[in-house]
Amino acid sequence: MIDNLHFAVEAVWKVLLVGLVLGAGLPAVFAVGVRSLAWGTGGAAEVAVDSPPHPVGRALAGVCFLVVLAGIGLGLTIVIAAGQGKIVSFDHVYPTIVDKPK
């Protein structure tokens, strides 16, 4: 019982941390992308109706959406790797696929 509680507490803060970074961070990045796109498009999309288009905004939006796509890619990799009995390791900071520790 105590062992389980101990393991659970250890896992909970990790899941919460990763969840916040990816689960809340990526939507925030996506929102920045949407905002940039509106800014880049200008006109009626923005807060002020007659604001001019900004190409920088479109570029920034592109970067944001790429970051989000990379996040989805990471998620897909984890799912597929888990199905093959592998695990995505972050030991080298960048993700690598390794065998699941037994």
Partner 1 sequence: MTEATLILVLVIGTALAFDFTNGFHDTGNAMATSIATGALRPKVAVALSAVLNLVGAFLSVEVALTVTNAVVKVQDKSGAPIPELTDNHGYALLLIILAGLVGGVLWNLLTWLVGLPSSSSHALFGGIIGATIAGLGTSGVNWNGDGSKLDGVVGKVVLPALVSPVIAGVVAAVGTWFVFRITAGVAQRFTENGFRWGQIGSASLVSLAHGTNDAQKTMGVITLALIASGHWSDTGAVPFWVKLVCALAIAVGTYLGGWRIIRTLGKGLVEISSPQGMAAESSSAAVILASSHLGFALSTTHVATGSILGSGVGRPGARVRWGIAGRMVLAWLITLPAAGVVGALMWTVGDALGGYAGPLVVVLALVALAAYLFVRSRRQPVHPGNVNDEWTGTPSVSVRKQEVAA
Helices and strands in the chain, H and E counts? 3, 2
Three-state SS at 75? helix
Query: Considering beta carbons, is residue 3 or 50 the nearer one to partner 1?
Result: 3
Return the residue matching tokens 């803060």. 13
Positions in the binding site for partner 1 (CB under 8 A): 1, 3-5, 7-8, 11-12, 14-16, 18-20, 22-28, 30-35, 37-38, 41, 44-47, 68, 72, 75-76, 78-80, 82-85, 87-88, 100
Comparison of 23 and 96: residue with beta carbon closer to partner 1: 23
- Whole-angstrom distance between the N-terminal and C-terminal Cα of the chain? 23
User: Are the CB atoms for 97 and 88 separated by under 8 Å?
Assistant: yes
The minimum distance between CB 59 and partner 1, in angstroms, equals 16
Q: Which is nearer to partner 1, 84 or 96 (CB)?
A: 84
Shortest Å, Cβ 16 to partner 1: 5
State the minimum distance, in angstroms, from the CB of residue 50 to partner 1: 13
Cα–Cα distances in angstroms (integers) from residue 70 to residues 51, 56, 85, 101, in the given order: 31, 21, 22, 26
Smallest gap, in angstroms, from Cβ of residue 5 to partner 1?
A: 7
